[in-house]
Structures are given as C-alpha cells and as structure tokens.
C-alpha cells in the first residue's frame, strides 16, 4: 500500500479547518490539523508533513511567525509552506516571501487550485529531499576517502617498522614473540581491508549503531 503524503493544516476557524481536512483527505492525503502556530510546532515534533497550509491571521502565533520558525529550523525548512490569506497587497506578499513562504493562496479558496498547489509543493519537497540525500552521500564518500588516505600513510609506516623489528629480534627470542607478530600482522590486514573499503565507497548506507549513533555500513 502506497504511503499517503502528509499535510498539516493550521487554521483557527473551525469550519474552514473542517472543510480543508475533508477536502484533502478525500484527495488521498494524510491530514492533521492545528488551531494556531504554537500548536503546529508541538505537532511537528512527531509529525513531519511535506506541505503546511497555514492561515496568516491566527491567535497566539500567526502563520507568518510559524513560517519564520519553520524556515529557521534545519530539520523542517524543506517543508513546502503555503500561506492562506485574504490580504491582497503586494507589500503583504513581499513580507511573506521575506520570511520564507513558498506560496500564497487567496481566500476564498478554489478547491481544485488548492489541491493542484499542494501537489506541486509535494513534488518540490520530494525533489529537495532527493538533492539533500545526494549531497549527504557525496559528503560521506569524500569523508570516507579522506579518512582512508589519512590512515593508509601511518599504516604503511607501521608495516615497515614491524618487518624491521622482526629482522632485528634475536633468533632465540623470536619463539616468544612469534605469536605477538602474528597478532600484529592480522590487525594490520584488518586495517588494510577497512581502508580499502573506505577509499572505494560509492553508495554509502547509514545504519543504526546504538540508540544515539549511526555508522556507515561497509560489509
């Protein structure tokens, strides 16, 4: 079953909020609603929509302030933000754009236009997320290559030093150190394999390591 695209509707007028929720649900979106910007921010702690549809004028926190807070948040800023407003002046539009609004819809809203704007916003959100994933993968690959090369140089020195040490250890003592040299050799080989995996990393996959950290999957 295909996952529905998530929409957050922020509207203080109960009747308008109800109509928007029914319209968007009917068009196969997953919709939750909030009465004002402050309530919306609380919902965003556990719900991540692709589009936020918010009224400009609301009590406690209006749509403009909500937009400003969302666009200032690194985790939320790619959410496509549509402001609903009865304001028609160019100055108001410029004000909205200055805080990062992606689109405006004038009240009263025409249903087909609203759905079309939301679908357009979802396409833009998906594209931005794909680009962000590409940039992240590129950064991971570059970091892995850098670490691999940084490890490789001292590793080569360690191999040379170990071989020289083997040659200088008296024959009588070599019996006692043979196991130590074998352990060292195995450790060097494991590090060499790790370096090779890092420097040839192409499509990094990030996996969970502990509850608080993640790591690159190499094998």
Centroid of chain to Cα 125? 12
* Torsion sign, CA atoms 185, 191, 192, 197: positive
pLDDT tens by residue, 20-40: 999 999 999 999 999 999 999
Q: What is residue 143's predicted lDDT score, i.e. its pLDDT? A: 74
Q: What is the mean predicted confidence (pLDDT) over 121-125? A: 91
65 and 12 in a common domain: yes
Q: How many domains, the chain?
A: 2
Q: Which domain holds residue 98?
A: 6-109
What are the tokens at 160?
Answer: 């040379």
151 and 102 in a common domain: no
Non-local CB neighbours of 13 within 8 Å, separated by 6+ positions: 55
Task: Please return the burial class of 198, using the count of CB atoms within 10 Å of its CB with bins 0-12, 13-18 and 19+.
Answer: buried
**Highest mean predicted confidence (pLDDT) among 31-45, 124-138, 165-179, 201-215:** 31-45
Q: What is the rounded average pLDDT for all residues in the chain?
A: 82
80 and 17 in a common domain: yes
Q: Residue 167: is its pLDDT beyond 90?
A: no
Higher pLDDT, 174 or 127: 127
Domain final residue pick, 109, 126, 160: 109
CA–CA gap between residue 191 and residue 188 (Å, rounded): 5
What are the tokens at 76?
Answer: 């939320």
Under 8 Å between Cβ of 97 and 103: no
pLDDT tens by residue, 64-120: 999 999 999 988 989 999 998 876 666 766 676 667 788 888 888 889 999 999 999
CATH of the domain at 63: 3.40.50.2300
Q: Residue 208: is its pLDDT beyond 80?
A: no
Under 8 Å between Cβ of 80 and 52: yes
Query: In this structure, is residue 127 part of a structural domain?
Result: no
CA–CA gap between residue 194 and residue 101 (Å, rounded): 46
Q: Residue 163: is its pLDDT beyond 70?
A: yes
């Amino acid at each position: 079953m295909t996952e529905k695209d998530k929409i957050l509707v922020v509207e203080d007028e109960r009747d308008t909020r109800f109509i928007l929720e029914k319209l968007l649900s009917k068009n196969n979106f997953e919709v939750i609603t909030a009465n004002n910007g402050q309530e919306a921010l609380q919902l965003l702690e556990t719900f991540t929509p692709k589009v936020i549809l918010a009224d400009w004028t609301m009590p406690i926190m209006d749509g403009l302030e909500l937009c400003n807070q969302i666009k200032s948040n690194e985790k939320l800023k790619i959410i496509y933000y549509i402001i609903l407003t009865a304001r028609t002046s160019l100055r108001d539009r410029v004000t909205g754009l200055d805080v990062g609004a992606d689109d405006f819809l004038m009240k009263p809203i025409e249903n087909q236009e609203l759905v079309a704007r939301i679908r357009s916003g979802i396409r833009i959100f998906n594209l931005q997320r794909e680009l962000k994933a590409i940039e992240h993968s590129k950064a991971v690959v570059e970091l892995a290559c850098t670490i691999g090369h940084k490890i490789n140089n001292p590793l080569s020195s360690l191999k040379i030093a170990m071989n020289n040490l083997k040659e200088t250890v008296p024959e009588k003592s070599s019996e006692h150190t043979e196991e130590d040299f074998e352990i060292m050799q195995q450790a060097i080989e494991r590090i060499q394999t790790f370096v090779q995996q890092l420097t040839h990393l192409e499509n990094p996959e990030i996996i969970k390591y502990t509850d608080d950290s993640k790591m690159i999957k190499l094998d």
